[in-house]
Amino acid sequence: MDEKILTRNIHKEGCETLAVYEQGGGYQALRKTLGGTAPADVIEAVKKSGLRGRGGAGFPTGLKWSFMPKEKNKPHYLLCNADESEPGTFKDRLLMERDPHLVIEGCLLGAYAMRADACYIYIRGEFVYPGKVMQRAVAEAYDKGYAGKNILGSGWDCDVVVHMGAGAYICGEETALMTSLEGERGWPRVKPPFPAQSGAWGMPTTINNVETLACVPFILERGPEWFAGIGPDERNTGPKLFCLSGHVKRPGVYEAAMGLPLMDLINDLGGGMLHDDRPLKACIPGGSSVPVLTAEQCNVNLDFDSLQTAGTGLGSAGCMVLDSSTCMVKALHRISHFYSHESCGQCTPCRQGTGWLASILARVESGAGRNEDVDLLVSIADNIEGNTICALGDAAAWPVQSFVKKFRPEFQAHVDAGACTILGVAESCT
């Protein structure tokens, strides 16, 4: 895919302004849709496109929209999940900073399809600058009649509200996001009821990721068949943003067709390994929560099904590249410390288990590891997985399970030698 779709505006001068967005055809999909397309037809088009959620779960977007009640006897809400807190992920921030009106138009089209009365854009608390950009863009949209009352003379009203979070990873989970938006502590909720039946303030609600909603204007502008024609098959369609970080020469956000080979992302788009004398050791393809791939497993395509077959996931498409100088014990300790710090504390397996994982890994890394520690890590992770209200427990367990399974000799060497022996040098990696 040579044409840039989602990133077509990001290098234009004044790309964050309404004027530049309109010059590039912005809001034409909204005008066309409000001019005579029924909400149900919008949902059907998104279904036909094959669009799947870009936030991590990969759930079919049109199907998710169809869960909203058909009758309208109470307010409906759309929540745009801009709480991009997954380590290794920074694509949504790019869209908000460099093309905020694309995000807003996608929100409005989704809100229209589900007959929502308001769209709340929930932005990660640390994203101060993106928050300011989005606030200015929303104000421009109101001034031009793209948001608020009687949008474009269609008779449809929809408010767009930017809400800044307080900086909590857990609020990226959709039910915790709703609880936080309501002014309460961001704790996940037990499902059912599902948000489409009882969501924010007890009203029918749908939550979509920033990149997911940014795809919608193009689907309605060019047609679902066009979107479905990008990618390897009908289950993996459309353009995709990939975040590339770690030991590569050109880290950044890259747009390509769904199904891009991982090694093409690393070697072609990313310029190859940062140090020519340090070969690829591992890659985490979908943000820190998905299982790690060894170098031998990296000949895989970046789409939902290919990565699932490989035993990992596309997740948030945060590809973190690790070269041969990486201490896998230290890397896992840093990941586990993050999940321990970000656990909301509601579920005992996560509240206690993530702390134990971080403590044991700190012990192993410092050279004081015990013979039973490697097996203990796996046991704790196994007891966390599947036993929490939300997926943060799984997100903490999967890296531990995969790191230890695939790099067990390195973990055992830390215990046996009482030090890190990466590159053949006996030295502490702390």
Tokens in use for 8? 């077509």
The residues spanned by each domain of the chain are: 18-228, 239-323, 328-424
Phi-psi region of 147 (alpha: psi -120 to 50; beta: other; left: phi over 0): beta
Beta-bridge partner residues of 302: 260
Average pLDDT over residues 358-377: 94
What's the CA gap between 303 and 299, in Å, rounded? 13
**Res 7: pLDDT:** 97
Q: Which helix (H) or strand (E) holds 253?
A: strand 252-257
Tokens in use for 410? 């390195």
Pairing between strand 280-284 and 293-294?
A: antiparallel
Q: In the CATH scheme, what is the code of domain 328-424?
A: 1.20.1440.230
Q: Is there a cis peptide before residue 192, judged by omega within 30 degrees of 0? A: yes
Report the share of the chain in percent with pLDDT over 90: 93
Judged against a pLDDT cut of 70, whether residue 272 lies above it is answered with yes
Judged against a pLDDT cut of 80, whether residue 328 lies above it is answered with yes
Question: Residue 231 — pLDDT band, cuts 50, 70, 90?
Answer: very high
**Res 85: pLDDT:** 93
CATH architecture of 239-323: Roll (3.10)
CATH class of segment(s) 18-228: alpha beta
Average pLDDT over residues 26-48: 96
Selection from 253, 272, 285 nearest residue 323 by Cα = 272
Beta-bridge partner residues of 164: 123
Judged against a pLDDT cut of 90, whether residue 195 lies above it is answered with yes
**Res 429: pLDDT:** 56
The 10s digit of each residue's pLDDT in 134-183 is 999 999 999 999 999 999 999 999 999 999 998 899 999 999 999 999 99
Helices (H), 223-367: 224-228, 262-264, 304-309, 328-342, 348-366
The 10s digit of each residue's pLDDT in 104-136 is 999 999 999 999 999 999 999 999 999 999 999
Beta-bridge partner residues of 121: 80, 162
Judged against a pLDDT cut of 90, whether residue 421 lies above it is answered with no
Judged against a pLDDT cut of 50, whether residue 424 lies above it is answered with no
Contacts of 400 (CB under 8 A, 6+ apart): 332, 336, 357, 377, 378, 380, 381
**Res 57: pLDDT:** 86
Question: Residue 423 — pLDDT band, cuts 50, 70, 90?
Answer: very low
pLDDT mean across residues, the chain? 95
Tokens in use for 367? 């050279």
